[in-house]
Structure 1
Amino acid sequence: MPMIFSEHMEQYDLEVVFPRNVNFVVPYQRTEVDIVVIHGLNIEANYYVHRDTWSYCGKMWPRDILPSCFGKRCRVMLFSYNDGLSVNDEDTRFIKHCDRLLRLLMENRLDDPTRPLVFICHDVGGLIVKEALAKAHLDKTGTIHIIDQCTRMLVFFNTPHHNVAKSVRNIASAAVRPTPPEVLDMLDKACNEHVERIAPLEQRGRLYRRRLVINFHGTNCYRGKQLLVEKEDTMMNARPEYWEKHFPIYGDHTSMCRYPSSEDITCETVLKTIGLNTYLAMRMFPTSEILNRAKFRF
């Protein structure tokens, strides 16, 4: 693979959690879509934040519930970029995280590189995905541009699209293990640099064209103190011709991603929204048609 990625660390992983037995393939259960789930900052000091972000008493809904929305004809992968028990300087390396995500996606999609992609992200995880899509969109080598072309839907849970540095500082400052001031400053710098890189593409709608965007916003204060991300900051306000939907969720910054069962009203709402809109996005923007179109030029 061409050396278009920066140096990376071994802690990165793209874990396939569904189907659990990757060697067992039933013909009528052909995989129709790849779902990539990306955690945010580990403010609750969990050992396995890439799993615990989406888990309630051992039940992880992207693995145990979400596949039923697609007749189990999907593959669910969890991206892990920092399982440290605190918010540290590793969390500020958005470019390195997006590089590793792109590399792992390319390696794991060799069987079908054109399979539609859906990204489900929590807070900073959404920033990493936007970095990855921007890099894929601007790729001139022809290596990773396919990731941008095949992405059909983006799902964000409390990802700040405006006032990014302020929101991310609020999230990091709420950690159960105090975040060092120097790390907060590094996060501020990383967020400002992220905005500078992404803003030109967002203004032209390059990150959202021919795909559907869903923003979920937690309505409850975290630990009863404050909203870590304001409602207005979770709304992209993209161009009218692009598809963006916004839904409030009963829960705080972390509980909005955890559901006790499929009967939970919040879980039912989230899963139906993701499932129905994924099929809508794939029907409206078939990957086969997009791959035959000329690449955007600036």
Structure 2
Amino acid sequence: MRILNFGSLNIDHVYHVDHFARPGETIAAHSFELFPGGKGLNQSIALARAGAAIYHAGKLGHDGEMLKEILDKNRVNTDYLEKADEVCGHALIQVTNQGENSIIIYGGSNKTITEDFVDSVIRDFGREDMVLIQNEVSCIGYIARKCAERGMRIAFNPSPLDEELLKSFPFELVSLFVVNEIEGHGLTGKEETHEILDALMIKYPDSAVVLTLGNRGAVYRDKAHTYTHGTYDVEVVDTTAAGDTFTGYFLGCLSAGNSIPECLRKASVASSLAVSREGASSSIPTMDEVDKALHTLRYNPYKG
């Protein structure tokens, strides 16, 4: 199974701070770094490192050659990248001493994806393939509808979640939701884990859901099965790419034919390794690192 990722391509501006800046407050950063990023790019790299056949489709700003280079270096197919007359998307990321992050995103070239561009890409894909979508590029509703018409499975990570997405996206077409607690609450209005899962399955009974719960683990639910998995002991340095790493590894393992419990297991280890390192895409582990960590990291049971 090939995976087509209509994903964002960002340049991350990372500031290390004691605490997040409050309204009206000016604070000094300890350090500043530039990293390649964007949920789309991070998830494509995680997919590639998990061994998936991943094709990245998107619009690249005139300042984004480094982003194409890192995708190429990680064996992500970039045949479906186009240049846009715009700067790349970028993110302003505050990272605290505890490794927590706060992120502001500017869409840039990611918001120049058109229906014609989508049509030119998806004509090469069909029912044996999966499309991955996040909410950092334009035309995502059109992407979902056209991919569904071609019989493709649709994996959706609805981040960032906003009112426009809730009003206009065809959620009923989604094969697999990958959401965290905040996104799960935004989609359902529910707070508790079981309530979020129950509500999503009632609204979208033909879909499957992966709900990530931070340091409490993750849970998978479809109409017939529920699987849970805990976390692993690591020192948290930077949580920026935790969710993207989990998403990429889960889908990558799924595309390789792994069972759902094994997909959860490897995705959980991969995201644990990612938070123990600095940066976004640079923190994503290889499959060799994940396989080794499976036998060395201490496991913490699921706490849903």
TM-score range, shorter chain: 0.3 to 0.5
Using structure 2 for the length normalisation, give the TM-score. Answer: 0.39
Structure holding more strand per residue: 2
